[in-house]
Structure 1
Amino acid sequence: MPAEMAPPKKYVTSKGEVRYEVRYRNLDNRSTRQRGFTTLKAAEKWALDNANRLAMGSHIPASAQRKLAGHFVETYINRTATIRPTTAASRTSTARTWVLPTWANRPVGRIDQDGVKAWVEELHQQGVSAATIEKAVGVLRGSLALAVSSKALASNPVVGIKLPEQVRRDNAYLTAEQVAHLVSHAGRQALLVSFLAYSGLRFGEAAALRVRDLDLDAGRVRVRASVTEVKGKLVEGPPKNGKARSVPLAHFLRAPLASSVQGRSSDGLVFRAARGGPLRANTWRSRDFAAAVRAAQGAAPYDKPFPTLVPHDLRHTAASLAVQAGANVKVLQRMLGHAAASMTLDVYADLFDTDLDEVVAALAPGAQASGIAALLRPAGNGELPTPRAPGDS
């Protein structure tokens, strides 16, 4: 039977704030209490949950529940051995900006779903983007999962929290003619812009390419690494899904690439900054690529305005051009380096809409030959004919 527990009791803090406390007897039959609940409902819910935990012998001692959430957040963001440097940096930034200011000094035993929901709503009201809220909630969820595994919490109050819906930006796809127009205004970046638009590599993957990764005779590019900027430093690691892949190289790119890397060692970079060092995504995007887009827009015909782009749109363009050339989902998945074909479909479902019409058209001849259309043709009174049983004459 659950231990006997008195109804929550209201009290007033030294700051004049109304709070509630729950008095109960622990597994050693010693009287104790849990304080700090902001609402009677939260106190009653905790009391019921605690009674069930006591009944099952899974009660969390009050001393463990007094551990501060900030301790678990710091532990969570410092566990970086199994994640990419960019992910680690993003978690740390998110924790410092959005999570720790609210939860650092809160005992984990006083964090409940109502409080987490109120925090999410507060961020939303402040105009924080849905994507950022999702990251913040993810950091808090992971941190409190450590509290659960450390026996400081019986369950994770962040699990099941509903988040604001994200509005995803539509993918931008350039036509082959638009790619050529952009390339004609890209100056010394023309080869890299062309390469990104026809290979589908992420910018970091292109920036990490070495001469040894090019097999120009076979028309293949071996994607083995990706370089990203973390806190001002360039960090090289594996591609996003952790797996190397081979990507086909368009014929028209082979001779320009061969000329560009001529005389470089096999370990030399294929694409380099103006002074010969590695490319930095932020610098290239804001300076070189933005200038090319502005020039392309300025030179575009009045009746055919050129779109505003970011470098990642060249990857989307590569996907679109590949589908137009007949690539199916599995081919596109391998080309782009997605972990699964389902991810490719999720990102590029709009590119395969026309396939539905082709499927319907392909079904038509077989259906016509089977005679099914005649079976479903309405009679003169508008009713469908009565189906005949097999063997009926």
Structure 2
Amino acid sequence: MVARIEDRWFKKDKRTKRPRYGKGLRWVAVWDDLDGVERTKSFRTKDQAQAHLEKVTADKSTGTYINATSGNAFVGDLLDQWAAASLHWQPSTRVAAESDIKAHLRPHWGDWTIGAVRKRDVQDWVAQMQQAPRTVGTIHGRFLTFLNWCVEEGLIAKNPASRVNLPKGRAREHWFLTIEQVTALANTVHERYRPLIWLLATCGLRIGEAVELRVKDLQLERGRIRVERAVVFVRGGSPVVGPPKSGRARTVSVTMKLSRMLGELAKRRGPNELVFTTVRGLQIRPNNFKRRDFDSAVAAVNAAAALAVAKGDKDAPTIPEGLWVHDLRHTAASWLVRSGASVKAVQRMLGHATAAITLDTYAGLFDQDLDDVASRMEALLEAA
């Protein structure tokens, strides 16, 4: 049916009044939905009705038109469809997304229809969250991504979660340990985890990549390790193994000291066995490792330093309280930069998807490069 404008007050002769003359809005825009269902909307003036029909026509031609019934789908059902359609998710992303859906998105939004969600509703939801600012940002970001998918699917015209005000929190600073601090930590932790500490601090692997390393991944004769997998542990479930976070395998270089340590471990294991295990021979769970071994070692180092200071030794290394295992990855980045590695080399070692991510994350570490450039330029000018 051709889109048209109807006059509710007068008949076609423009003189004969209809029964509803003077009641309600006079002009009605009439058009067909994409599914062939006729739709109407009333306006005060004819020009307004005409402008609406022109917008409908334009939206249909550009593919941005939304059927009137599209907004009736329940968010809970759409969340399942979104997760099923997101085949590009890495295992770690899927675990995190499904956790957020179960804990935060479905409980609040599951019974809402997608067309009923407004920006003010999202703003109220964010304001009521009791989590830390960074966590709130992560949860909101998950909902934002879901709603972007709804826009792409033609279920809603725009994303109501965009430009929502989020609580501001100070970003946690990266901690970069010295060689003395890492040495103290490695010498204090249980001896079976000593090679793991040095691996994290010199190669920059993520903990999920390190605990999934197999003997077959070690190429110690070349001074290399192949990082092809990472593991994510789901609370109450089985570990999920997939590719590294960037989605691509990489090869990292290994120091001679670490190579000897890993070689000793490899002697006692088969090609498919894990390089690092717990005392019971099981795969290391990062949360358990941090709580039971890593944090205890940090506390022990600081306790020993306090005793040394009491005896007059002011050089005993201490370690920041609240240190994360991930800070050893930051430490590796700082050591790589200090050793003269290029941004590209640091990117390859850390497994960042792009060099831009490396620069954004560790821009401050490359300040020395600017000083070096100035020094070399000065030397060049003096020589000339």
TM-score by length of 2: 0.78
Match of 2:123 among 111, 117, 129: 117
| Aligned-pair CA distance for 1:201 | 1.1
CA RMSD of the aligned region, Å? 3.0
**Map of 1:202 onto structure 2:** 206
| Aligned-pair CA distance for 1:139 | 2.9
Q: Distance in 1 between matches of 2:248 and 2:40?
A: 57
**Map of 1:342 onto structure 2:** 356
User: Quick check: 60-69 or 156-165, which moved more?
Assistant: 156-165
Q: Would the aligned equivalents of 2:231 and 2:239 in 1 still touch at CA under 8 Å? A: yes
| Aligned-pair CA distance for 1:153 | 1.9
Within a 5 Å distance, the mapping from 1:1-393 to structure 2 comes to 25-28=29-32, 31=40, 53-54=55-56, 56=58, 58=60, 60-120=66-126, 122-123=127-128, 126-188=129-191, 189-231=193-235, 232-300=237-305, 301-302=308-309, 303=314, 304-308=317-321, 309-368=323-382
Q: Would the aligned equivalents of 2:4 and 2:29 in 1 still touch at CA under 8 Å? A: no
Q: Would the aligned equivalents of 2:200 and 2:329 in 1 still touch at CA under 8 Å? A: yes
Q: Distance in 2 between matches of 1:272 and 1:201?
A: 16
| Aligned-pair CA distance for 1:245 | 1.2
With over 3 angstroms needed to count, the CA separation of the structure-2 counterparts of 1:112 and 1:175, relative to structure 1, is: same
Q: Secondary structure at the match of 1:62?
A: coil
| Aligned-pair CA distance for 1:306 | 2.4
The gaps in structure 2 that reach 5 residues or longer are: 9-26, 33-37, 43-48
Note the alpha carbon deviations across 1:81-125, whole angstroms, 9 max, x for none: 3212221122122223332333322222222334333433x24xx
Q: Distance in 2 between matches of 1:343 and 1:171?
A: 15
User: Identity of counterpart residues, as a percentage?
Assistant: 35
TM-score by length of 1: 0.76
Amino acid corresponding to residue 58 of structure 2 in structure 1: M
With over 3 angstroms needed to count, the CA separation of the structure-2 counterparts of 1:27 and 1:282, relative to structure 1, is: same
With over 3 angstroms needed to count, the CA separation of the structure-2 counterparts of 1:146 and 1:314, relative to structure 1, is: closer
Amino acid corresponding to residue 136 of structure 1 in structure 2: I
Q: Would the aligned equivalents of 1:86 and 1:228 in 2 still touch at CA under 8 Å? A: yes
Q: Distance in 1 between matches of 2:119 and 2:53?
A: 18
The gaps in structure 1 that reach 5 residues or longer are: 7-22, 34-46, 371-393
Q: Secondary structure at the match of 2:375?
A: helix
| Aligned-pair CA distance for 1:251 | 0.9
